[in-house]
Amino acid sequence: MSDTVIEAPEFAEGTASYLTDGTTLRSWLLTTDHKRIAILYFGTITIFFFGGGAAAALVRYNLIVPQGMIASAETYNRLFTLHGVVMVWFFLIPAVPATLGNFLVPLMLGARDLAFPKLNLLSWYLFVAAGLVVLYALLAGGVDTGWTFYTPLSSAYSKSHVVAAVTGVFIAGFSSIATGLNFIVTIHRLRAPGMTWYRMPVFLWSLYATSVLLVLATPVLAMTLLLLSFERIFHIGVFDPALGGDPLLFQHLFWFYSHPAVYIMILPGLGVISEIVPAFSSKRLFGYKFVVWCSIAIAVISFLVWGHHMFVAGTSLYSALVFSILSYVVAVPSAIKVFNWIGTMHKGFVRFDAPMLYAIGFIGLFTMGGLTGLFVAALAADVHLSQTYFVVAHFHYVMVGGMVSAYFAGLHFWWPKITGRMYPEMWGRAGAVIIFIGFNLTFFPQFFLGYLGMPRRYHAYPPEFQVLNVLSSAGATILAVGYLLPLAYLTWSLFYGERARANPWGATGLEWQTASPPLTENFVSTPTVTEPPYNYPPPEVVQRHV
Amino acid sequence: MNLWLPQATTSAAEVDYLILALLLTSCAILALVFGLILLYMIKYRAGSDFDRGAPDERTWRLEAAWTVATLLIFFGLFVWGADLYVRLFQPPSDALKIYVIGKQWMWKIEHQGGQREINALHLPVGRAIQLVMTSEDVIHDFSVPAFRIKHDVLPGRYETLWFEVNEPGTYHLFCTQLCGTGHAEMFGEIVAMPAPEYQNWLEQNGAAETLASAGETLFMRYGCSGCHGGNGAGGRQSGSTVRAPALAGLYGSPVPLTDGSIVTADDLYIRDCILSPERRRVASYPPLMPSFAGQISEEDLLKITAYIKSLTPEKLP
């Protein structure tokens, strides 16, 4: 397959694909095809993304003036809670695994479908059910505890719809577990002949690590939310000291899930970038095995750092010391990945199509998110910076600057494969640049706000913080344009985009060896793998092509 | 736009040096990452005919090098941050104690002399201050950016925080743990003044009685003295028919419990004994004391504790 890696077989236009195999609503809603389920997920999370984004826009709008543009603190608290709950559980966690992962895992493995197609469909229905419950909580009046649901505020004092919201999150958790389980079994059992573990693309390794986290961590969240609901409904004392409980127990349990969840959100993004950088550098991924084992290391260590959310919460001195050093340790594999991506560009043939621009934006923003994480891992600095806008900026750099950029990078990269259409390239590049600029304008000023002491979750603030807040809100308008652009041009491309070839990027990987869009059966015959991943040809061959 | 935050405590500058070190390290790494990306974007763009030579096959040396380098830098930052934190964690023994109670949505301050304030805290410069903090309802957080300090204020616990102010002035006090609708209104000011002015302030706002003497009144009113005796002499000594442990000299001393363990009687232990006497009962005393949970406010608990602390065996008749 030496040169054919790049020149994949062409398929006659208009052949049947998974998109044309049944056009009724029923054929979509009862499908067990992983590709169609990916599309269902894609539509659902897009709605959540723009819903959560609208809440964020209102939050930034409110903060333009010190006394707050929105009159009531009740409304403001509900807005940022909605933003957090929706973005964390209904966008970031499912974003890459449930859409790109669902679509690509069997294709990349050379398999016909996931191991449990019906479970896959069930996970989407659970996800929709969870979304409807959260929608109910919202329409009934909302929740005001923040997405972290800290007790005893959530269990005893909040007068909002806490139980409905945590029920939604609880159900969404089962959808996550189903997806995770499906991926683990599929990767173990359904690899094509010759697809050894070390021939798997890093994207699959990342999803494997993510799946392990989903299966192991999510049940802890389920238990915690169940206990919280019991305390709120039946007044069973678990977390509320007035009932003999311990409020820090809630924080320990919550972060025991929610810190690994941070990696559930970012690991798939790291996988996406590990596919795109080699493809657009026409070069093997630098240090493949290191990158692979970094994913696994991140997954393991991420279970041991939850206490860094509690440095000022009243835990012991020794626990703070241990969690601080472990937090530095977990940052090492992420740093190694960044160096490996740069190493991949070294001596490559770098092209700047939209996926690569999003990926480069990702590397920059993720690095900044990671470096500012070092500030809050340093104990004495964390005392000053935690619970301020510094932390808000830090995790948005990782989650939005990093993860959402990676999601868009992957979306553009595999868009031709998923839809059979090319997106308009110039618009794609413009979108990547506008998002990068808008993102930095929105969140960079928040580092200064945090250092100066502006607390999170304030609907009004002292006037000296206004200038930086106005800058941040102004940046948010550019960011909003940046996010609406892909919505517009990607939708446009579904109808008017140029037809995509099987392998428009000249990329390696089995998914590029089948038609765009793929057949329902994925491959005409089961492929056999004979080479290592990212087997981009040596420089001379590339030079001839260029 | 003012990007300068006052350094009002003795440790503020140290925290700022740490943040500066983190900033410089980050800038160096960012310059490296962005610099290399930009360089490779130009030098190795697909259109450039720069000679790439043979691809590198052996990568593990580079991998090992940057893994070790990253680990060393991170370890240095960890030690720096941890060392400072450990020092900030331990208050000097002669610190002036001031009591803080958080509730939705205000800060209540109780001084030793009985002075009370709401959403304001007056304190002297040049003296170590230790705040003893608790909450009446949800978790709050006592945060003073100009002091570079912050700590959660929990219901059912006493959390402490210490610092020494060296710049007189007025500084923001924020609640930084989401505590409900009025979270952003839980806002106050810290007034740091030179010691003589602080003395004046204490006298002008002097209360009729100190915390401890107010506690003595409560000690009688809640009937504590009925069993524990006047001046905390203990049940038997004062002729009471009930056997209750003596309280004079209790504070800071080791107490053997029924389960065989020994605890040091600190603020939290005394508070627990009043609210749930069964939980950590003193060895060799019968379980007679009723629980006062829900009957005594946090302020009254502080006063009674202050009174018990003031009792020493020498004061007994």
Q: Write the DSSP string, A399-412.
A: IIIIIIHHHHHHHH
Rounded Cα distance, A468 and A459, in Å:
15
For the stretch A400-435, pLDDT in tens is: 999 999 999 999 999 999 999 999 999 999 999 999
Q: Residue A383 is nearest to which of B2, B74, B149, comparing CB atoms?
A: B149
pLDDT above 70 (res B56): no
Q: What is the mean pLDDT of residues A306-332?
A: 94
Q: What is the mean pLDDT of residues A274-297?
A: 94
Coil vs helix vs strand at B194: coil
**pLDDT-based confidence at A538, cuts 50/70/90?**
low
The structure tokens 């940022």 sit at: A80
**pLDDT-based confidence at B152, cuts 50/70/90?**
very high
Q: Which chain A residues have a beta carbon less than 8 Å from that of B163? A: none
Q: Which chain A residues have a beta carbon less than 8 Å from that of B174? A: 453, 455
Q: What is the mean pLDDT of residues A66-95?
A: 93
The structure tokens 């669902």 sit at: A102
For residue B231, the distance in angstroms to the closest alpha carbon of chain A comes to 30
Q: Residue B181 is nearest to which of A77, A325, A340, comparing CB atoms?
A: A77
Are A157 and B181 in contact (CB < 8 Å)? no
Q: What are the φ/ψ torsions at residue A503 (nearest 5 degrees)?
A: -135, 75
The structure tokens 């990767």 sit at: A187
Write down the pLDDT at residue A385: 96
Write down the pLDDT at residue A543: 52
Cα dihedral sign, A107-A112-A116-A118: positive
Q: What is the mean pLDDT of residues A376-396?
A: 96
For residue B316, the distance in angstroms to the closest alpha carbon of chain A comes to 36
Q: Chain A contact for B161, CB < 8 A?
A: no
Q: What is the ipTM of this complex?
A: 0.91
Q: Residue A386 is nearest to which of B82, B150, B172, comparing CB atoms?
A: B150
Q: What is the mean pLDDT of residues A231-236?
A: 94
pLDDT above 70 (res A539): no
pLDDT above 90 (res B52): no
Q: Chain B contact for A242, CB < 8 A?
A: yes
Coil vs helix vs strand at A309: helix
* Closest C-alpha to A521, from A106, A146, A187, A184: A106
Q: Which chain A residues have a beta carbon less than 8 Å from that of B183? A: 73, 77, 457-458
Write down the pLDDT at residue A158: 93
Rounded Cα distance, A182 and A177, in Å:
8
pLDDT top residue among B220 and B135: B135
pLDDT above 50 (res A546): no
Are B174 and A339 in contact (CB < 8 Å)? no
Q: Which chain A residues have a beta carbon less than 8 Å from that of B52? A: 347-349, 539
Are A144 and B3 in contact (CB < 8 Å)? no
Coil vs helix vs strand at A197: helix
Q: Chain A contact for B64, CB < 8 A?
A: no
Instruction: Give chain A's mean pLDDT.
Output: 93
For the stretch B261-286, pLDDT in tens is: 888 888 888 888 888 888 888 887 88
* Closest C-alpha to B303, from B53, B28, B110, B148: B110
Q: What is the mean pLDDT of residues B226-230?
A: 79
Write down the pLDDT at residue A542: 53
pLDDT above 70 (res A302): yes
* Strand residue runs (E) in chain B: 96-103, 106-110, 116-118, 120-124, 128-135, 140-144, 149-153, 159-164, 169-175, 187-193, 254-256, 262-264
* Closest C-alpha to A488, from A428, A403, A416, A417: A428
Pairs across A and B, CB distance < 8 A: 263
**Up-side HSE of residue A198: CA atoms within 13 Å toward CB?**
6
**pLDDT-based confidence at B314, cuts 50/70/90?**
low
For chain B, percent of residues with pLDDT exceeding 90? 50
Q: Chain A contact for B253, CB < 8 A?
A: no
Rounded Cα distance, B22 and B303, in Å:
44
Write down the pLDDT at residue B293: 83
Q: Which chain B residue has its CA at the smallest distance from A469's CA?
A: B1
For residue B5, the distance in angstroms to the closest alpha carbon of chain A comes to 6
Q: What is the mean pLDDT of residues B221-248?
A: 73
Write down the pLDDT at residue A2: 39
* Closest C-alpha to B224, from B203, B206, B246, B209: B246
Write down the pLDDT at residue B277: 84
Give the strand order in the sheet containing B128-135.
B116-118, B106-110, B96-103, B128-135, B159-164
Write down the pLDDT at residue B266: 87
pLDDT above 90 (res B77): yes
Coil vs helix vs strand at B210: coil
Q: Chain B contact for A276, CB < 8 A?
A: no
Q: What is the mean pLDDT of residues A104-117?
A: 96
Write down the pLDDT at residue A12: 56
Q: Which chain A residue has its CA at the smallest distance from B1's CA?
A: A467
Rounded Cα distance, B134 and B140, in Å:
9
pLDDT above 90 (res B230): no
Write down the pLDDT at residue A106: 96
- Residues composing chain A: 546
Q: What is the mean pLDDT of residues A330-359?
A: 94
The structure tokens 């009723």 sit at: B290
The distance from CA B81 to its chain's CA centroid, rounded to whole angstroms, is 18
Contact yes or no for B206/B138 (Cβ under 8 A): no
For the stretch A181-200, pLDDT in tens is: 999 999 999 999 999 999 99
Write down the pLDDT at residue B53: 76
Q: Which chain A residues have a beta carbon less than 8 Å from that of B278? A: none
Contact yes or no for A387/B141 (Cβ under 8 A): yes
Write down the pLDDT at residue B167: 93
Instruction: Give chain B's mean pLDDT.
Output: 88
Q: Chain B contact for A382, CB < 8 A?
A: yes
Are A374 and B157 in contact (CB < 8 Å)? no
Going by DSSP bridges, is the β-strand pair B106-110/B187-193 parallel, antiparallel, or unpaired?
unpaired
Q: Which chain A residues have a beta carbon less than 8 Å from that of B77? A: 328, 374, 377-378
Rounded Cα distance, B176 and A47, in Å:
32
Write down the pLDDT at residue A362: 96
Are A458 and B184 in contact (CB < 8 Å)? yes
Q: What are the φ/ψ torsions at residue B141 (nearest 5 degrees)?
A: -145, 125
pLDDT above 50 (res B111): yes
Q: Report how far apart, in Å, the C-alpha atoms of A44 and of each of A71, A85, A131, A362, B82 are.
A: 32, 15, 9, 24, 45
For residue A39, the distance in angstroms to the closest alpha carbon of chain B comes to 34
Cα dihedral sign, B14-B16-B20-B26: positive
Cα dihedral sign, A491-A494-A499-A503: positive
Q: What are the φ/ψ torsions at residue A108 (nearest 5 degrees)?
A: -70, -30
pTM to 2 decimals?
0.92
Residues 6+ away with beta carbon under 8 Å from B97: B112, B130, B131, B132
For residue A498, the distance in angstroms to the closest alpha carbon of chain B comes to 23
Q: Which chain B residues have a beta carbon less than 8 Å from that of A360? A: 37, 41
Q: What phi-psi label fits residue B282: left (phi over 0), alpha (psi between -120 and 50 degrees) or beta?
A: beta
pLDDT above 90 (res B169): yes
